[in-house]
Amino acid sequence: MRIVFANSAWVSAAERLILRGGGWQSVRLRVRYGLIFHPAAGPVLIDTGYTPEALSGERRGRMLQLYGALLKPELNAAGQVLPMLRRFSLSPDDIRAIIVTHFHADHISGLSLFRNARFIASDAAWARVKARSPSQNLRHGVFTELFPPDFEARLDGISAKPRVAAQGDIPGGADLFGDGSVIAIDLPGHADGQFGLLFTGPGRPLLYAVDVQWLLAALTESRTPGFPATLIAEDATAIESASAMLRRFLASGGEVMLCHDPAPTSHDLAPEAA
């Protein structure tokens, strides 16, 4: 099973906001999403990254427009999801499943581009989205206009997936395809219902930990940022316990990859030759 990641955009932030003890220099963060070539499920997306739908789409509400103006994401044209799929001779209609790790804009921006896909996501988190008022969802960082109108009809909730038990420092979770190849690992703290993905196939187990931290150094050097970064967390107290689990996984020989860390990895797609 092949796993690749692409960078949809760049977002800049002062290092001290995302790394304890950091300086005021700006760090250019990636906004990754992934593509799995699964032997039975076919090509499966992991989120969609940022797309124009979140930054210039006609359905954007006033708060989503303000969000874009404040964060100022710089879209990476070559790394957008549709050009990336074309590199593999795929169209949006070829994607039958999208794993949605959580419901923030930089992860669901492009869901409406995929009319044939089912959405593998936290059904518990979705139930809470439906139960909240629009203003409450905004406080949780959820812009409901980015969901396709038929999102619920296509939702494949992870609560119904078989569970895999933890093995020592290898965490357990929901077996997304029933073959043990992709395990959804609960990663509370950053966003409601956030889960990461454990890939058991590589010789060195890989855990895509999404947004537990922005920088890998926050894990490897135990430099988890505090205030004001914790203000935007769903549950700031849970971030450290999730980070501690990832540190144990790293110490056991596993590999951790984050959505926003700027350093390239062996799983990132190389830019196309000119």
Q: What are the residue boundaries of the structural domains of the chain, listed by start?
A: 2-257
What is the third-level CATH fold of 2-257? Metallo-beta-lactamase; Chain A (3.60.15)
**Model pLDDT, residue 273:** 52
Element housing 208 (H / E): strand 206-208
The Cα-based distances of 227 to 16, 41, 70, 215, 220 in angstroms read 10, 42, 19, 16, 20
178-196 as b/e: b if 16+ CB within 10 A: eeebbbbbbbbbbbbbbbb
Each residue's pLDDT tens digit, 138-192: 999 999 999 999 999 999 999 999 999 998 888 999 999 999 999 999 999 999 9
Radius of gyration in angstroms for the set of CA atoms belonging to the chain, rounded to a whole number? 17
Dihedrals φ, ψ of 193, to 5°?
A: 80, 5
Q: Average of pLDDT values for 104-115? A: 97
pTM: 0.96
CA distances 254 to 50, 99, 126, 156, Å, are 28, 22, 30, 28
Given pLDDT bands bounded at 50, 70 and 90, which one contains residue 30?
very high
Taking only the tens place, the pLDDT of each residue in 40-94 is: 999 999 999 999 999 998 889 999 999 999 999 999 999 999 999 999 999 999 9
pLDDT of residue 274: 45
CA distance 151 to 146: 10
Lowest mean pLDDT among 115-129, 218-232, 239-253: 218-232
